[in-house]
Structure 1
Amino acid sequence: MNPYRILVVDDEEDLCEILQFNLETEGYLVDVAYSAEEALKLDLSKYKLLLLDVMMGEISGFKMARMLRENPKYARIPVIFLTAKDTENDRLTGFNIGADDYISKPFSIREVLARVKAVMRRTAVAEAQPEEEKLLE
């Protein structure tokens, strides 16, 4: 069983349901928020990954990610954008904000799962490095 908790933030309920089902099938613990405002009311520090839509209500996914990157408590939480905004400028904006990956809609759920696993692997390696460095001292 996978101990990682993921937050899906998207205003499309059907898409959230599909993502939640497939991620839970892979063993992840998944919560859903249907807006950035709803997500920002949660204790985000318990999540190992955020899947964010860009185009949502008052606070866009870009704005939410920017807010997270500016907050030391949440700055290191990996973010993958899942969005219909697929121009080169959109992708570059996402990466410049600090996205760990950017997936354009429509997408293959298998590809999303593979990218989630890849980000989780990189995060686990990055988190383990300080411990390894301590052991070498």
Structure 2
Amino acid sequence: MPTKHTDLLEGCKILILDGDKRNIFALTTVLENHKVNVFFDENEKIGIKTLEENPGIDFVLMDMMMPEMDDYKAIKVIRQNPKYETLPIIALTAKAMKNDQEKGINAGATDYISKPVNLLQPLFLIKVCINRCRAHEHA
């Protein structure tokens, strides 16, 4: 019998943007075990295009050390589109300097996680954000 946690995430669409294939693999494996539809890209420009071409993406996990844009520009580009104003975006970073979390939030990230990622942490944040989104849909 599925757990409430699995029921909540099942069928969600999540986009992972990360330049490291190992991170993509680890996150994808965990999310697919919860029956999440995972999209991923190693390049933020292509990832933004993936977001636009796949309506209904519920959530974005974004590495802040991507190859094409500066650390926070990709989030700002996504937020410029009115249909993504409330899309949950979690910033992931390995460099975790003192002001990075504040910079990420100011750029438009919903929350911020330092690497190495405890895989339970993004699952918890996704669950919280999905609950909020579904509550707003039914309000």
What are the equivalent positions in structure 2 for 1:1-137 lying under 5 Å apart? 2-42=10-50, 43=53, 45-129=55-139
Residues 52 and 61 in structure 1, CA contact (< 8 A), matched pair in contact too:
no
Q: Deviations over 1:103-127 (max 9, x none)?
A: 0001211122112211211222223
Range that drifts further, 10-19 or 66-75:
66-75
Matches of 1:29 and 1:106, distance apart in 2 = 23
| TM norm structure 1 | 0.86
Range that drifts further, 3-12 or 36-45:
36-45
Q: How many residues align?
A: 129
Residues 48 and 78 in structure 2, CA contact (< 8 A), matched pair in contact too:
no
Larger relative CO (CA 8 A, sep 6+): 1 or 2? 2
Range that drifts further, 5-14 or 98-107:
98-107
Q: Which runs of 5+ in 2 are unaligned?
A: 1-6
State the 4+ residue runs in structure 1 displaced beyond 3 angstroms. Answer: none
- Residue identity in the other structure for 1:5: K
Relative distance call for 1:60 and 1:27 in structure 2 (3 A) is farther
| TM norm structure 2 | 0.85
Matches of 1:7 and 1:94, distance apart in 2 = 18
SS at match of 1:120: helix
SS at match of 2:83: coil
- Residue identity in the other structure for 1:120: I
Matches of 2:135 and 2:71, distance apart in 1 = 26
